[in-house]
Chain A
């Protein structure tokens, strides 16, 4: 079975400081990994994904994530946080090597950026 862990329910960071939202995963074989963001009263919006190749993936709004196979992690990062980045962030995984197309999401991490 595949699973995703987001160990922090909430991350607080001051505007202008770097931010990290953690994600670890478990999957059979190689993973496809995703980050989505949810603003209040909205559906999820895609941020970035890792398929293969370069371990550092750049996405929307200045976010990036680093795939670390040995640590089975895919942490989301941004060099300088904005108040408008405050939202709920979800990491998701599916296996590249099985026929199963279902996507498994983590429980979400609320990012609060203080002015």
Chain B
């Protein structure tokens, strides 16, 4: 089954404790992206990746890091989480980013609470 998976689905942590949210897709997609969803603000793009070793900032990259060492994986790293990073996070992928218009497939979301 074609899918985007995220782990963990729920996470409670404390300020300053490094964490990683994993994202994996099994569709051989080149383009992957991370979003955060906050009430009243909709989805905001954090980082995206056009292909292996190619990443770029979205609208709200501060406080986040990403890496793309393999095509299928695109982890989101919070080196020193803060309470304002409490949010619902979605990973998404699409076939290529060249035309930029393909349908994006979204993961189920990761709900993060930073105390």
Contact = CB atoms under 8 A, between A and B. Distances in A.
Interface of A: 4, 6, 9, 32, 36, 41-46, 49, 51, 90, 92, 94, 96, 101-108
A62 to B, nearest CB: 18
Interface stretch (B67-75, B77-85, B106-114): B106-114
Contacts, number: 60
Contacts of B41: 107
A43 B108 contact: yes
Interface in B58-115: 58-59, 90, 92, 97, 100-101, 103-109
Contact of A104 (B45, B56, B103): B45
Contact of A90 (B40, B42, B45, B101): B42
Report the interface size class on chain B: 20 to 34
A49 B104 CA distance: 11
A35 to B, nearest CB: 11
A105 B100 contact: no
Interface of B: 4, 31, 33, 35, 40-45, 48, 50, 56-59, 90, 92, 97, 100-101, 103-109
Nearest to B97: A101
B59 A43 contact: no
Nearest to A1: B59
Contacts of A43: 4, 90, 92, 106-109
A101 B54 CA distance: 12
Contacts of B106: 36, 43-45
A88 to B, nearest CB: 9
Contacts of B44: 105
Contacts of A36: 106
Contacts of B45: 102-105
A101 B99 CA distance: 9
Contact of B33 (A32, A49, A103, A107): A103
Q: In this complex, which of A32, A106, A107 has the most chain B Cβ atoms within 10 angstroms of its Cβ? A: A107
